Amino acid sequence: MSKGELKTKATDMSVADFIAAIPDARRREEAAVVDAIHRRVTGHEPKMWGPSIIGYGSYDYTYDSGHSGTMARAGFSPRKAAMTLYLMGHYCDRQAEADALFAQLGKHKTGKACLYINKLADVDIGVLERLVALSWDVMNERYPIQGNVG
Protein backbone atom coordinates (compact mmCIF):
# COMPACT_ATOMS: atom_id res chain seq x y z
CA MET A 1 0.00 0.00 0.00
CA SER A 2 1.43 3.38 -1.00
CA LYS A 3 1.64 6.25 1.47
CA GLY A 4 -1.47 8.07 0.20
CA GLU A 5 -3.56 4.97 -0.44
CA LEU A 6 -6.71 4.56 1.63
CA LYS A 7 -6.84 1.68 4.09
CA THR A 8 -10.63 1.74 4.22
CA LYS A 9 -11.98 0.19 1.04
CA ALA A 10 -14.95 -2.00 0.22
CA THR A 11 -14.15 -5.68 0.72
CA ASP A 12 -15.81 -9.00 -0.08
CA MET A 13 -16.04 -9.92 3.61
CA SER A 14 -19.56 -11.00 4.64
CA VAL A 15 -21.46 -8.42 6.71
CA ALA A 16 -23.60 -11.19 8.24
CA ASP A 17 -20.48 -13.12 9.28
CA PHE A 18 -18.92 -9.95 10.73
CA ILE A 19 -22.03 -9.19 12.81
CA ALA A 20 -22.35 -12.82 13.92
CA ALA A 21 -18.73 -12.75 15.13
CA ILE A 22 -19.21 -9.72 17.43
CA PRO A 23 -18.32 -11.17 20.85
CA ASP A 24 -20.73 -9.08 22.96
CA ALA A 25 -24.35 -10.24 22.56
CA ARG A 26 -25.85 -6.78 23.20
CA ARG A 27 -23.54 -5.12 20.67
CA ARG A 28 -24.37 -7.90 18.16
CA GLU A 29 -28.12 -7.25 18.62
CA GLU A 30 -27.57 -3.50 18.35
CA ALA A 31 -25.59 -3.97 15.13
CA ALA A 32 -28.57 -5.82 13.63
CA VAL A 33 -30.88 -2.92 14.59
CA VAL A 34 -28.55 -0.26 13.15
CA ASP A 35 -28.07 -2.36 10.00
CA ALA A 36 -31.86 -2.57 9.54
CA ILE A 37 -32.15 1.23 9.93
CA HIS A 38 -29.48 1.81 7.29
CA ARG A 39 -31.04 -0.68 4.88
CA ARG A 40 -34.44 1.03 5.22
CA VAL A 41 -33.04 4.54 4.83
CA THR A 42 -30.57 3.88 2.02
CA GLY A 43 -32.19 1.03 0.10
CA HIS A 44 -28.69 -0.47 -0.21
CA GLU A 45 -27.30 -3.83 0.81
CA PRO A 46 -24.30 -3.32 3.09
CA LYS A 47 -20.67 -4.01 2.31
CA MET A 48 -17.73 -4.23 4.65
CA TRP A 49 -15.33 -1.30 4.35
CA GLY A 50 -12.01 -2.29 5.82
CA PRO A 51 -12.11 -4.77 8.70
CA SER A 52 -14.83 -3.16 10.84
CA ILE A 53 -17.04 -0.62 9.04
CA ILE A 54 -20.41 -1.64 7.59
CA GLY A 55 -21.15 0.75 4.74
CA TYR A 56 -24.05 1.56 2.43
CA GLY A 57 -23.56 2.98 -1.04
CA SER A 58 -20.41 4.86 -1.99
CA TYR A 59 -19.24 8.21 -3.26
CA ASP A 60 -16.13 9.68 -4.81
CA TYR A 61 -14.59 12.76 -3.24
CA THR A 62 -11.69 15.12 -3.92
CA TYR A 63 -10.38 17.46 -1.24
CA ASP A 64 -8.98 20.92 -1.99
CA SER A 65 -5.54 19.37 -1.36
CA GLY A 66 -6.10 17.10 -4.37
CA HIS A 67 -6.44 13.95 -2.23
CA SER A 68 -9.27 11.83 -3.57
CA GLY A 69 -10.89 8.49 -2.90
CA THR A 70 -14.07 6.48 -2.58
CA MET A 71 -15.90 5.91 0.69
CA ALA A 72 -19.22 4.61 1.96
CA ARG A 73 -22.06 7.16 1.79
CA ALA A 74 -23.35 5.97 5.17
CA GLY A 75 -22.17 3.42 7.65
CA PHE A 76 -21.43 2.32 11.16
CA SER A 77 -19.04 0.26 13.20
CA PRO A 78 -20.15 -1.75 16.24
CA ARG A 79 -17.02 -1.00 18.27
CA LYS A 80 -16.48 -2.33 21.77
CA ALA A 81 -16.50 1.12 23.42
CA ALA A 82 -19.44 2.56 21.45
CA MET A 83 -21.64 2.04 18.44
CA THR A 84 -20.11 4.48 15.96
CA LEU A 85 -22.27 5.87 13.16
CA TYR A 86 -20.63 7.79 10.33
CA LEU A 87 -22.80 10.76 9.45
CA MET A 88 -22.37 13.81 7.27
CA GLY A 89 -20.15 16.04 9.39
CA HIS A 90 -21.90 19.27 8.43
CA TYR A 91 -25.49 19.59 7.38
CA CYS A 92 -25.13 22.66 5.16
CA ASP A 93 -28.43 24.55 5.15
CA ARG A 94 -30.03 21.82 7.30
CA GLN A 95 -27.86 22.28 10.42
CA ALA A 96 -30.80 23.50 12.55
CA GLU A 97 -32.72 20.34 11.66
CA ALA A 98 -29.71 18.21 12.65
CA ASP A 99 -29.22 20.12 15.91
CA ALA A 100 -32.89 19.61 16.83
CA LEU A 101 -32.61 15.86 16.19
CA PHE A 102 -29.40 15.56 18.23
CA ALA A 103 -31.18 17.39 21.08
CA GLN A 104 -33.98 14.77 21.00
CA LEU A 105 -31.74 11.73 20.50
CA GLY A 106 -30.78 10.90 24.07
CA LYS A 107 -27.39 10.03 25.54
CA HIS A 108 -24.67 10.29 22.88
CA LYS A 109 -21.40 11.96 21.93
CA THR A 110 -20.36 13.38 18.59
CA GLY A 111 -17.12 13.88 16.72
CA LYS A 112 -16.46 15.68 13.44
CA ALA A 113 -18.50 13.18 11.40
CA CYS A 114 -19.22 10.48 13.99
CA LEU A 115 -22.03 9.74 16.39
CA TYR A 116 -21.05 7.60 19.39
CA ILE A 117 -23.70 5.68 21.32
CA ASN A 118 -22.77 3.50 24.29
CA LYS A 119 -26.11 1.65 24.35
CA LEU A 120 -29.00 1.88 21.90
CA ALA A 121 -31.33 1.74 24.91
CA ASP A 122 -30.05 5.24 25.78
CA VAL A 123 -31.39 6.80 22.57
CA ASP A 124 -34.67 7.25 20.72
CA ILE A 125 -34.45 4.81 17.78
CA GLY A 126 -36.93 6.83 15.71
CA VAL A 127 -34.80 9.96 16.09
CA LEU A 128 -31.69 7.94 15.26
CA GLU A 129 -33.33 6.79 12.03
CA ARG A 130 -34.25 10.39 11.19
CA LEU A 131 -30.61 11.44 11.74
CA VAL A 132 -29.38 8.66 9.43
CA ALA A 133 -31.96 9.75 6.83
CA LEU A 134 -30.95 13.41 7.11
CA SER A 135 -27.28 12.52 6.70
CA TRP A 136 -28.13 10.31 3.69
CA ASP A 137 -30.15 13.12 2.08
CA VAL A 138 -27.39 15.69 2.61
CA MET A 139 -24.76 13.28 1.25
CA ASN A 140 -26.88 12.76 -1.86
CA GLU A 141 -27.29 16.53 -2.29
CA ARG A 142 -23.57 17.14 -1.91
CA TYR A 143 -22.42 14.08 -3.89
CA PRO A 144 -25.17 13.25 -6.43
CA ILE A 145 -25.42 9.57 -7.33
CA GLN A 146 -24.15 9.02 -10.88
CA GLY A 147 -24.26 5.89 -12.99
CA ASN A 148 -23.56 2.71 -11.04
CA VAL A 149 -21.87 4.51 -8.13
CA GLY A 150 -23.99 4.79 -5.03
Question: Tens digits of per-residue pLDDT, 1-47?
Answer: 444 445 678 889 999 999 999 999 999 999 999 999 999 999 999 99
Q: 150 falls in which pLDDT band (50, 70, 90)?
A: very low
pLDDT of residue 148: 47
Cβ-Cβ contacts under 8 Å for 117 (sequence gap 6 or more): 82, 83, 85, 107, 108, 123, 128
The CATH architecture of the domain made up of 15-142 is Alpha-Beta Complex (3.90)
**Cα–Cα distance measured from residue 12 to residue 15, given in angstroms and rounded to the nearest whole number:** 9
Any idea which of 106-110, 131-135, 142-146 has the lowest mean pLDDT?
Answer: 142-146
pLDDT at position 1: 40
